[in-house]
């Protein structure tokens, strides 16, 4: 593989010297993008398409996408459909550095790479995603995650949880621990609860799922709760914060999950721990004490270190949720802003859209949408727009939303990685 890496490391140089489209006319400078997920790969592609010299830093050979991975966990979808490679980006002529960024010198404008070299930049875009906090929940560390998977970064964890659920004998108890805000993909835990309940109902009907939540309100709540009452009254029990739902400790040896009020003996425990921006954000000096990155809502430039832009899950994007849809939309807007800044133009004040589709059962979908714009220094909801699917949507409409959700995933992953 390293021969290919080396070739792709320099593969984009020739393309970068081709004539520039008018868009980037006057824009001069080197852009480095760290993180080839939905945010970073989108931004890198947009900058490259506009004719800028851009290097995408990403160590992983393959990108394993989280959206739709809850269906994999419930045995409803093959994991292969989640896997993408970077050859498409290399073929498009983009320069890839197949290594990890380990430090950023914001004053000298340089990124230091794991294998030793440095990359100078005029503008740096970070889209490194999240780190799971293994210091936040007593008993839950990296070793515990091998027994009580979070499956909140797709890949081996997704397959581990899928296997544990498939192997669990009927009559078992599944416990799902959900963190407080903010975290990656606000409706994700509830989609996961729905699809696990579907698996139990259809294949292990004497089993039960207990959802322990560290909060009382959540994304698409009325839609999820209506679906659970309709579909899973005997298989899903939801315990909110006010009902004592916050997980306060776990014991992986015995698969015990504790709250301040009770102990839950699990046969399968999925624990989603609190999160923060991936470590490179703190190393670059763009994460604040919350662990996330404050940004300017027009350009996504860090409030803490000039010249560095942060997009995707790592950013504090106001009302915009941490989603692949948001990361993709932000990648495009941030690329435009970087082009404008490099050309000495005033960036356009943007509007962005997010839509998160969730499945409550196979072929049964719901969504939440929003339109966002900068207001008082943050990305705020455009009043009167957005919201969730109607509570009384017909089965036919929910069927269509499930199809639209799958189609969104296909379209966006093709646009980003294809």
Q: Which residues bind ligand HEC (CB under 6 A)?
A: 353, 355, 404, 408
Which residues from 341-400 bind ligand FAD, rule CB under 6 A? 356-357
Which of 385, 387, 388, 380 shows the shortest CA–CA distance to 317?
A: 380
Q: Taking CB within 5 to 8 Å according to partner kind, which of ligand HEC, ligand FAD, another protein, none is near residue 70?
A: ligand FAD
- The dihedral built from the CA positions of residue 408, 409, 413 and 418, taken in this order, carries a sign that is negative
Lay out the site mask for ligand FAD across 82-101 (x = CB under 6 A, - = otherwise): ------------------xx
- The yes or no reply on residue 186 touching ligand FAD (CB under 6 A) is no
User: Residues in the site for another protein, rule: CB under 8 A?
Assistant: 21-23, 325, 328-329, 332-333, 336, 340, 348-353, 355, 367, 369-371, 373, 382, 384-387, 389, 393, 397, 400-401, 403-404, 406-408, 410-412, 414-415
Q: Which two tokens stand for residue 78?
A: 């093959």
CA pair distance 329, 46, nearest whole angstrom: 11
DSSP codes joined into one string, 275-336 = EEE-HHHHHTT---TTSSEEB-TTT-BBSSSTTEEE-GGGEE-TTS-S-HHHHHHHHHHHHH
Cα–Cα dist 251/36, whole Å: 35
CA angle 341-342-343, nearest 5°?
90
Q: For residue 414, give both structure tokens.
A: 């093709």
Q: Name the one range near ligand FAD by CB under 6 A: 61-69, 204-212, 239-247, 263-271.
A: 61-69
- The entry of ligand FAD, ligand HEC, another protein, none near residue 127 (CB within 5 to 8 angstroms by kind) is ligand FAD
> CA 418, CA 415: separation in Å to the nearest integer?
6
Partner that binds at residue 352, options another protein, ligand FAD, ligand HEC, none, CB closer than 5 to 8 Å by kind: another protein
User: What does 23 interact with, of ligand FAD, another protein, ligand HEC, none (CB < 5 to 8 A by kind)?
Assistant: another protein
Size of the site for ligand FAD (CB under 6 A): 37
Residue with tokens 């740096």: 124
Question: What CA–CA distance (Å, rounded) separates 162 from 76?
Answer: 10
Which residues here bind ligand FAD, judged by CB under 6 A? Answer: 34-40, 57-60, 63, 66-67, 69-70, 100-101, 127-129, 152, 184-185, 188, 278, 280, 312-314, 322-325, 327, 356-357
């Amino acid at each position: 593989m390293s021969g290919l890496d080396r070739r792709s490391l320099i593969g984009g140089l020739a393309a970068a010297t081709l004539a520039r489209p008018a868009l980037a006319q006057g824009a001069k400078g080197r852009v480095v993008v760290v993180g080839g997920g939905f945010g970073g790969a989108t931004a890198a592609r947009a900058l490259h398409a506009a004719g800028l010299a851009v290097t995408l830093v990403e160590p992983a050979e393959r990108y394993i996408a989280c959206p739709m991975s809850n269906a994999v966990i419930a045995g409803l979808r093959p994991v292969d459909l989640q896997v993408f490679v970077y050859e498409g980006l290399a073929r498009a002529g983009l320069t890839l550095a197949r290594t990890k960024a380990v430090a950023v010198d914001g004053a000298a404008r340089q990124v230091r790479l794991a294998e030793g070299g440095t990359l100078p930049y005029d503008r740096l875009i970070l889209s490194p995603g999240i780190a799971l906090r293994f210091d936040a929940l007593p008993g839950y560390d990296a070793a515990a995650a091998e027994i009580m998977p979070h499956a909140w970064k797709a890949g081996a964890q997704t397959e581990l949880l899928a296997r544990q659920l498939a192997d669990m004998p009927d009559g078992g108890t599944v416990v799902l621990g959900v963190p407080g805000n903010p975290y990656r993909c606000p409706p994700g835990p509830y989609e996961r609860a729905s699809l696990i309940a579907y698996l139990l109902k259809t294949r292990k009907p004497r089993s039960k799922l207990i959802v322990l939540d560290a909060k009382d309100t959540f994304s698409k709540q009325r839609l999820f709760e209506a679906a659970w009452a309709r579909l899973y009254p005997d298989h899903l029990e939801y315990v909110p914060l006010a009902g004592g739902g916050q997980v306060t400790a776990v014991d992986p040896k015995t698969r015990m999950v504790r709250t301040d009020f009770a102990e839950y003996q699990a046969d399968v425990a999925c624990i989603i721990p609190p999160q923060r921006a991936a470590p490179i954000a703190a190393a670059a000096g763009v994460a604040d004490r919350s662990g996330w990155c404050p940004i300017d809502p027009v350009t996504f430039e860090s409030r803490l270190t000039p010249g560095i832009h942060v997009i995707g899950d790592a950013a504090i994007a106001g009302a915009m949720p941490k989603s692949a849809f948001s990361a993709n939309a932000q990648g495009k807007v941030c690329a435009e802003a970087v082009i404008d800044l490099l050309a000495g133009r005033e960036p356009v004040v943007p509007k962005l859209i997010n839509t998160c589709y969730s499945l409550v059962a196979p072929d049964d979908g719901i969504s939440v949408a929003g339109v966002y714009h900068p207001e008082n220094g943050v990305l705020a909801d455009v009043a009167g727009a957005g919201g969730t699917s109607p509570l009384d949507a017909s089965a036919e409409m929910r069927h269509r939303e499930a199809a639209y959700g799958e189609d969104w995933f296909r379209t966006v992953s093709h646009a980003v990685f294809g």
